[in-house]
Structure 1
């Protein structure tokens, strides 16, 4: 008997199955919006698609009267700059400490418990502390992202190093490799694919920390704009911004996946079978 768990859809069927939920969501939204507008022509909760398109077009193509900026693009640039900086710093710290903690037992004994405790601290709980220490500028927002995802990266990469077969380490030492050379030539190449996968898993939390910081103290950014217009119940702006943030996160995830598979194809041989 053919079981459902053994049915693998082809490329065309996979595409249809992937698009179908989005079409269903769009249909439900349009239907609900039309029903609410029939009951109340001034309803703001579920604006028609035409209103959202008009709002985004205005923000993306008409200069702001106060600043002269195209708000949609300036908000996007500000948020992506903060996110990119936080990601770069977190990746560097996560890789460095992850390798050291995973490779050196003495460092593992000293730092692993500390990193484990730090990873349990809710980053949003210390956001006021960051604003007090680093001010309300860009640094506090970047630091929040770094604090939010770096401990996770360190623990994940340290565990990845710990799963490298011991035989490889012994062979490298037998051939005369020092600890530093073993770390760079054996551990680092096998850790890089996992770093990219861990960064993919961190995209959602990173955006959460970014939007939260921008909502509290910022003069631009996607999160700032959403929380600025909420007082006017401007769902025709809020919903497109949320959709845009989601699209950006998906693009980042897709790009990291492509980079990982192009740069380290040997790590995904099992998936290709």
Structure 2
């Protein structure tokens, strides 16, 4: 008798099972929307798919009368630029400081408590401070992402470095490797795939910080647009924007996953993460 924990779906079944929850959500939305619109044709809470299509067509393919920009694509480029900058800086800081903390006790003693304390600070609580110090421009938004994400990556990379087998480090030292040779040739290749995995796990937080910052002070961006139309209760724009943000986050996660599988296939097989 095959136990439930040992039954694995094939590729087609896995795809179908993955799509099933989304199909159910769309069907429930359609049923609920039609029932509400039947009672009140002007209901804005759950607009019809026709209204959503018309709103998105206007945002994506009709230039704004005020700016001449295609608002959806302009907002997307504005948000992605800030997100890539924030996550990229965070990943670089996390990798460098995390490996150094894990590899060199003299650095770990002062830096580990510092980044642990930073990781416990609610980033949204210091957002007003960032706007005061860095102004209302893009720098404050990027710094919010860095402050919210980088300390977590530092701690993750430090723990990964400390968990490397001591036998490898002893063997490298026996063969005459210096400290920096051990860091670059033994530790770095094993920590890099974990960095990609950690960035994937923090993408949701990075998006959260970006949307929050854009909602408070911005003139473009996905978060800015959502909170701009909120005052008009325009769910025909808000809902597609939320779905679009989710799709972008999913696409970024998928790309990072493919990069990890292609560059470090041994890591996926070792950790059983080829399907996560």
Pairwise CA distance, 1:6: 2.0
Partner in structure 2 of residue 111 of structure 1:
111
Match of 1:120 in 2: 120
Distance 2:103 2:45 in 1: 54
Which residue matches 1:31? 31
The within-5 A match list for 1:146-225 is: 146-225=146-225
**TM-score, normalised by the number of residues in structure 2:** 0.97
- Deviates further, 214-223 or 61-70: 61-70
**Equivalent residue number for residue 22 of structure 1:** 22
Distance 2:155 2:124 in 1: 20
Distance 1:182 1:4 in 2: 44
Looking at structure 1, the residues matched to 169 and 5 of structure 2 have their Cα atoms a distance apart, in angstroms, of 39
Q: Which segments of structure 1 move beyond 6 Å, counting only runs of 4 or more? A: none
Structure 2: distance between partners of 1:65 and 1:57: 15
The runs of 5 or more residues in structure 1 that have no matched partner are none
Distance 2:44 2:269 in 1: 50
State how far apart, in whole Å, the 1-side matches of 2:65 and 2:13 are.
Answer: 49
Q: 1:269 offset after TM fit, Å?
A: 2.2
| Structure 1 residue 239, shift from structure 2 partner | 0.2
Distance 2:150 2:252 in 1: 18
1:86 is matched with 86
Q: Deviations over 1:229-268 (max 9, x none)?
A: 0000000000000000000000000000000110111112
User: C-alpha distance in 2, partners of 1:126/1:8?
Assistant: 46
Helix, strand or coil: the match of 2:231? Answer: helix
For the residue of structure 2 that corresponds to 1:220, the secondary structure is coil
What are the equivalent positions in structure 2 for 1:52-91 lying under 5 Å apart?
Answer: 52-91=52-91
State yes or no: 1:144 paired with 2:144: yes
Residue of structure 1 in register with 2:43 after alignment? 43
Pairwise CA distance, 1:2: 3.4
Offset from partner CA, 1:74-133 (integer Å, 9 cap, x none): 000000000000011011100000010000011111111111111000000000000000
Match of 1:261 in 2: 261
Q: Distance in 2 between matches of 1:83 and 1:64?
A: 24
Partner of 1:135 in structure 2? 135
Q: Distance in 1 between matches of 2:179 and 2:222?
A: 45
Q: Secondary structure at the match of 1:232?
A: coil
Stretches of structure 2 lacking an aligned partner (at least 5 in a row): none
CA distance in 2, matches of 1:152, 1:168: 26
**2: CA distance, partners of 1:169 / 1:4:** 41
Q: How many residues align?
A: 273
The equivalent of 1:234 in structure 2 is: 234
